[in-house]
Amino acid sequence: MYSNKFGRLMFGLKGLKATSACGAFQRAAARSGFNWAAVCKQRTLWQQRSACAGMHQTGSAIHTTVDPGEVKRFQLLANKWWDEEGEFAALHAMNDLRVPFVRDNLLNAQRERHPGQPLAGLRILDVGCGGGLLSEPLGCLGATVSGIDPVEDSVRIAQQHAAHDPDLRDRVSYRACTLEELAGEGEAQLEPEPEQGVTQFDAVVASEVVEHLADLDTFAVCCSRVLKPGGSLFITTLNKTNLSYALAIVVAEQLLHIVPRGTHDWEKFISPVELERLLESNGFLVQSVQGMLYNPISGAWSWTNNTEINYALHVVKQDDKAEDGSTPPGGHNEVAHS
Amino acid sequence: MHKLTKAPLALTGLGRCLITEKHLSAVNIIRRGVMCSENRTDCSKTEVYDVIISGGGMVGSAMACSLGMDPNLAGKKILLLEAGHKKVIDRVPDTYSTRVSSISPGSATLLSGIGAWEQVTRMRCKPYKRMQVWDACSDALITFDKEDLLDEMAYIVENDIVVAAITRQLDAMPENVQVKYKTKVVKYTWPMPHHAAESIPWVKVTLANGETLQTKLLIGADGPNSMVRQKLGIPTVKWNYDQSAVVAVLHLSEPTENNVAWQRFLPTGPIAMLPLSDTESSLVWSTSHHLAEELLELDEESFIDAINSAFWSNENQSDLIETAGALFRGALSAIMPSAGSPRQLPPSVAGIGPKSRVMFPLGVGHASEYIRHRVALIGDAAHRVHPLAGQGVNLGFGDVACLTHLLSQAAFNGKDLGAIQHLLEYETERQRHNLPMMTAIDLMKRLYSTNAAPAVLLRTFGLQATNMLPTLK
């Protein structure tokens, strides 16, 4: 993953910092025992398979979702994840919205009811899990959660935190890897038994992740790869509007310090319409979009109809059988959130 | 650490040749126990409970039952620790016990929600429809009743019956709800604040038998001298009234439709007669320590005389007060002619139940904080009131309902049960409810503790006015 960044430098894609950053990552790559040749080979294999399956291809040959600058920034904040009044306080508060969002939409699709463990039997992938802030509540609700994050320190903190709780130990597992790597492994395992994907999840959650990624198309492709047909993808992110610049960057980062400075890059924000278009072109069907609003005084989030700043999105992967565009079973109504 | 494991391992190896598998698992358990006791913090096999409730009185056991029956908390490991023995009532005894409580309709709803109310009514309880409260120093009185005397106002139930009913429900609960009787806690170890990653984040409870338990949330329901509250160092506003309550079971002179609760404010303190059945009532006489001791020492006849005269005599009334009271009543009835209720006299007492005179000291207390990180206080541990309004246990049941609701919601949102956010909500809601009630009760107690004319006039007018205005009541 780090040498992908080196590759991008060579191809002259935009948004990269000075060579010192590149050097740092080369050293980091060496430290993690990384093998350039192996990745090259894996990537070629993956591309060939995509070509065979007739998947949508973007222009450039290199696909990665991870932006190393972001990785570095989160590495420095790794110890602060579980401090509920620290840098990540707003993310802790956001659980009040995003956990019910995921839970209710998944419950709509479920037939059985398990009292006390509403998400029992479901496999969820938490992309960009960080310290496990969202993985743990979902695990508490009974789901089997796999959390992945490129920042190793965050994953270590997440593992430590979950280790104390005997219920969570069995249900929540973490791995320091990227989504492409996971998707790639899934691909490799699909070969012998194309019907039973070992890494096929019922739901993928990517909360506050999309605005930190380098390549959204790859992200969408990988999500589709790891999801079961009819599976759900939940995204929460920020809209690219003047208002979001004013509030999320100027006010939140620089004035009120709700978020550490430099966390967000406005260029990476994406509007719901664009994100929907992107996801639909990758075989997803939009189920609901809802705006979220943060109140800095009370420190609480609330649902709103206005998607101009933060919003949450729920899409489902189209069933392969339902190619005529009919909606998959399990509710296509917008879920009302209290 | 390694030496310790190697020795039992070797033993186990040897043993496997000689002993059957049944004994082998016992050896394993002992080995695990040895490992655990030597290295508690590393013992990953220690069971972590979701909730431990310390104290199995009326409020504590209601909490355990309420949590256990909540669908969102299904499967959560709940443990109730009680120092006393299990209260089982197979056959209701003929004699009444002296400790009774007035259960409000709200509390009755909570108890029926956990299925215990049905058990209570099957055993023994007495609903009453009216309550008359009046002053010894004047003619003022106030009666509380539901309209048309059809609904019950509240119920008088013996404390033992409530606990036994809830215990029966607890017995019927699934395995995840456990109760340990005759279990005393000797030590609590509080967790470090949550962002210290290395230490165990749970509350550790050490029992008298050496066992250590861990829990995500500790609920302290261990009464007015709560150990949980003391160990946490929560500052408590408390004082002992210079009063004790004398309780007894009274036999009435003649059977009557005993559905009225009587309370008279004497200068020394309120005396209350609460109905238990058509022939018996419960006495709660709050008075100074000195008088209380005297009362206990009186022989039965003198004691009965004292009770009757306390309810019936008018010696404390002065002419001034009487005239003023009558004038005020006249004025009020001119404005609102239809309001007001006739005064009734309580039934007279003929005898008392055998060996039933007891006294206990009274005090008031309020913990300034009901919660800490991973701990919540409920019932008398959080707030203790004077029995004059019969509200003590009802406040506790209110705590149970509120905390259960909030924990249920938190569990449905996948939250850690010991997280401070919903505990804060519990504290705010209950303090907002409890404090005004406790202040009012305390004020009433102080107001009625004196003979001084101004205070008497004030409370006379106040009582009469309140009696005439249904909304205030």
B37 to chain A, closest Cα gap in Å: 18
- CA B458 to CA B327: how far, in whole Å? 14
Residues of A (279-318) whose Cβ lies below 8 Å from B? none
Q: Which residues of A touch B195 (CB under 8 A)?
A: 79-80, 82-84, 86
Helix orientation angle between B105-113 and B392-412, rounded to the nearest 10 degrees: 40
Candidates A101, A160, A165, A168, partner chain B, best to mutate (most B CBs within 10 A): A165
Where are the alpha helices (H) located in A227-280, listed in sequence order? Answer: 242-244, 272-280
Kind of pairing, strands A284-295 and B177-180? unpaired
- CA A224 to CA A205: how far, in whole Å? 12
Which of A86, A103, A115 is opposite residue B71, by nearest beta carbon? A115
CB atoms B414 and A136 under 8 Å: yes
Provide the number of CB pairs (under 8 Å) joining chain A to chain B: 62
A136, closest residue in chain B (CA to CA): B414
The matching CATH number, chosen from 3.40.720.10, 3.50.50.60, 3.40.50.300, 3.40.50.2300, for B47-192+199-335+342-472 is 3.50.50.60
Specify whether the CB–CB gap between B309 and B442 falls below 8 A.
Answer: no
- CA B371 to CA B369: how far, in whole Å? 6
* Residue-by-residue DSSP string for A125-149: EEET-TTTTTHHHHHHTT-EEEEE-
Structure tokens at B344: 């009734």
Question: B261 CB contacts (<8 Å, ≥6 apart)?
Answer: B102, B128, B130, B131, B132, B153, B154, B156, B272, B273, B274, B275, B390
What digits encode the pLDDT tens for the residues A49-85?
A: 544 444 444 444 456 778 888 888 888 777 788 887 8
CB atoms B414 and A139 under 8 Å: yes
Residue B166's closest CA among B256, B102, B80?
B80
Q: Which residues of B touch A95 (CB under 8 A)?
A: 413-415
Where are the alpha helices (H) located in chain A, listed in sequence order? Answer: 2-11, 19-31, 36-53, 68-76, 89-109, 135-140, 152-163, 166-171, 179-190, 216-226, 242-244, 272-280
- CA A119 to CA A135: how far, in whole Å? 12
The strand pairing partners of A288, in sequence order, are A314
Specify whether the CB–CB gap between B164 and B110 falls below 8 A.
Answer: no
pLDDT tens string, chain B, 473 residues long: the values are 454 445 454 454 454 545 444 444 444 444 444 444 444 444 445 789 999 999 999 999 999 999 999 999 998 999 999 999 988 888 888 888 888 888 988 999 999 999 999 999 988 888 888 888 887 777 667 776 665 555 678 898 999 999 999 999 999 999 999 999 999 999 999 988 765 556 788 999 999 999 999 999 999 999 988 999 999 999 988 877 778 888 888 888 888 888 888 888 888 888 888 888 888 888 888 888 888 888 888 888 888 888 888 888 877 666 666 777 777 777 777 776 555 556 777 888 888 877 778 888 888 888 999 999 999 999 999 998 887 777 889 999 999 999 999 999 999 999 999 999 999 999 999 999 998 888 888 887 777 776 676 777 777 777 766 666 655 55
**Is A136 an 8 Å CB contact of chain B?**
yes
- CA B170 to CA B69: how far, in whole Å? 10
Total length of chain A: 338
- CA B78 to CA B219: how far, in whole Å? 11
- The answer to whether the Cα torsion of B71, B76, B81, B85 is positive or negative is positive
CA distances from residue A190 to A57, A198, A199, A317, B338 in whole angstroms, order as listed: 20, 8, 9, 18, 86
How many CA atoms lie less than 13 Å away from B51 in the CB half-sphere? Answer: 33
Structure tokens at A31: 């430290």
Query: pTM score, two decimals?
Result: 0.79
B195, closest residue in chain A (CA to CA): A83
